[in-house]
Amino acid sequence: MMAMKLNDSVRGELRLNEPMSRHTSLRVGGPAEQFFRPVDLDDLSLFLSELDSSVPVFWFGLGSNLLVRDGGLPGVVIAAASLSREIEKIGDHRVQVGASVPCTQLSRQCIRWGFGPSEFLAGIPGTVGGALAMNAGAHGNETWERVSSVRTIDRHGEIRDRTPADYEIAYRSVLGPVDEYFVAATMQFDPDADVTMAAQKTLLEVRKSTQPLGLPSCGSVFRNPADGYAAELIEAAGLKGHRIGGAEVSTKHANFIINVNDATASDIENLITFVHDTVERAHGIDLIHEVRIVGVAGE
């Protein structure tokens, strides 16, 4: 595919054959054919409006819940993390937040304002946009329980305002209009005198003590089944510490796969498949992976 020629009015940066291993928390992934980092929403809208409709578009945030295969991604990857990171209080206990804001940052600001429940957001290792896309949650709370409205941009650069009624929302699942991407949300919280930085710190300490933070991973690999926890099933199947190539099932938390020794994306995907199949044989439970697996397989 030929690289598109940018309109002189487009201010963002376009890179060719950008290694996605530089941008994902697993530190793996082949090249993005084109990698566009917009300056702001207007810049992105202009870029998309001039992009040929045949070019695939992949929306990319912090890369914390993503496995890009070794063959990379065709078309254009939009690096959305460069968009607005503003958090604004717009009424009693209502917050407007850019999709590029890290969930931990949103949690911290809501706590300062005394809005709750908001500590749970600190348990989500990604951006608000990623949390919206998958209805991420932690500690018994989910993102869309707090959403009043969202703003999206579509494949052609058109911006829309939508409500939760436009989406089918379930556990770790959000289905809505195709080829639209979240750029902002309005969220409703409650006055909560019990919300404190200490409570958030406690939750973060729990994460630190129970999860392999600081190591290359994608967070939780599998969704929890209806009755139970994926980590317990994986551990009971004797898979803690199991390796394929440079990928390992964490010995600290069995629902994490970590890149311990220059793993390839293929190593990690093969280990995900092995864990799934082993748990299904051992327990009769079909685990659904939470991590998003995209791109072209390597040779």
Give Cα separations from 261 to 180, 208, 210, 215 (angstroms). 37, 22, 22, 11
How far apart (Å, rounded) are the C-alpha atoms in residues 283 and 251? 20
132 within 8 A of 182, measured Cβ to Cβ: yes
- Reference 138, options 105, 181, 103, 189; nearest CA is 103
Which of these is catalytic: 172, 207, 243, 292? 172
- Reference 296, options 1, 99, 13; nearest CA is 1
How far apart (Å, rounded) are the C-alpha atoms in residues 86 and 208? 27
The first and second tokens of residue 281, run together, are 């044989």
Which of these is catalytic: 220, 248, 250, 269? 220
172 is catalytic: yes
DSSP for residue 39: S
- Reference 91, options 188, 196, 193, 195; nearest CA is 188
| Cα-trace Rg, the chain | 20
220 is catalytic: yes
* SS3 category, 200: helix
Nearest 5°: phi and psi at 162?
A: -130, 160
Nearest 5°: phi and psi at 115?
A: -100, 135
The first and second tokens of residue 120, run together, are 């749970």
- How many residues in total does the chain contain? 299
52 HSE (CA, 13 A, CB side) = 10
The answer to whether the peptide bond before residue 38 is cis (omega within 30 degrees of 0) is: no
Catalytic positions, written as ranges = 172, 220, 290
